Amino acid sequence: MGSSVRIKEFSFGYEKKTILEEINFQFEQGHFYSIVGPNGSGKTTLLKHIAKILEVSKDKIFIEDCDIHKLKGKNFARKIALVPQNTEVEFQFSVEDIVMMGRSPYVRPLQKDSDEDKERVFEAMKLTNTFQLKDKSIAELSGGERQRVIVARALVQDTPIILLDEPISHLDLFHQIEILNIIKNLNLKKKITVIAVLHDLNLAIEYSDEIIFIGEGEIKASGKPRNIINIEIIKMIYGIDVVVIENPVSGKPHIIPIVKGSTRS
């Protein structure tokens, strides 16, 4: 199985401050990866470089073995879709219009939306439970509703790679599971490579093929959840004491923080 994204000796910083240092990693095609770690460790910065939001030097990040510098405009947009952390939209577009923007890499200038485009948009809105919102202004939506709309936009972009920067941060538990189930099903059925920054370790464990721990701008550890999740790695990365048990349903590790002084005498 080939490499979807390859990062080679990549470092980044500004004003004499190092944010990421000597990152080397291969994201394999069709796998679900979660990048986890403390706030300020460089997770989102790494994702932004893969998405070309932040400029990267040549020969550092490759998409399907092609240097991202050689992928321009629509060609790049056909490879990678991004669900950003900030889903604020300045203009009062309708929900349907926002989702339809995900089809722009396939539409020629001044060309009208095709029936196929509309069908794909409606399908994505139904998958993300946003179809009933299609005529509303994006500005009228709650943070959670807006998050689901942006996920729908990424789905219709029809890319082999999806990047998600805290995609469930504004959602209640029901919609967190709903969105992650949608992404996981696409990952399994269409072999889409998923690279997600997540804060909830237990959800990352349940949905990921591989976990990547980033701390102080470095990859501290990576591997399959069953092989890598233990009390030592959590202590090293987060500085907290935990208990790791087996999830009785999935059989995967489950983390329980030890909260000192919380028990009643």
Contact 165, 85 (CB under 8 A): yes
**Mean pLDDT (whole number) for 210-236:** 95
Each residue of 30-72: pLDDT tens digit?
999 999 999 989 999 999 999 999 988 888 999 988 999 889 8
Among 28, 49, 63, which residue's Cα sits nearest to residue 159?
Answer: 63
> What is the reported pLDDT for 114?
84
For residues 176 and 180, give the distance between their C-alpha atoms in angstroms, rounded to a whole number.
Answer: 6
Angstrom CA distances, 16 to 13, 159, 251, stand at 7, 36, 45
pLDDT tens string 179-202: 899 999 989 998 999 999 999 999
Residue 263 pLDDT exceeds 60: no
Q: In this structure, are residues 67 and 44 in contact, taking their beta carbons and an 8 Å threshold?
A: no
197 token code pair: 């920054």
CATH no. for 3-229:
3.40.50.300
Answer whether residue 217 shows pLDDT above 60.
Answer: yes
pLDDT of residue 87: 74
Residue 89 pLDDT > 80, yes or no?
no
The pTM assigned to this predicted structure is: 0.91
Q: Closest Cα to residue 76, out of 117, 101, 100, 105?
A: 105
Residue 83, beta-bridge partner list: 164
Distance separating alpha carbons of residues 37 and 261, to the nearest angstrom: 25
> Alpha-carbon distance 52 to 12, whole Å?
13
What is the torsional sign of CA 77, 79, 83, 84?
Answer: negative
pLDDT at 14: 82
State yes or no: pLDDT of 265 exceeds 60. Answer: no
Tell me what pLDDT residue 214 has.
95
pLDDT for residue 169: 82
Position 85 pLDDT exceeds 90: no
What confidence score (pLDDT) does residue 110 get? 65
Q: What are the structure tokens assigned to 73, written together?
A: 């405009």
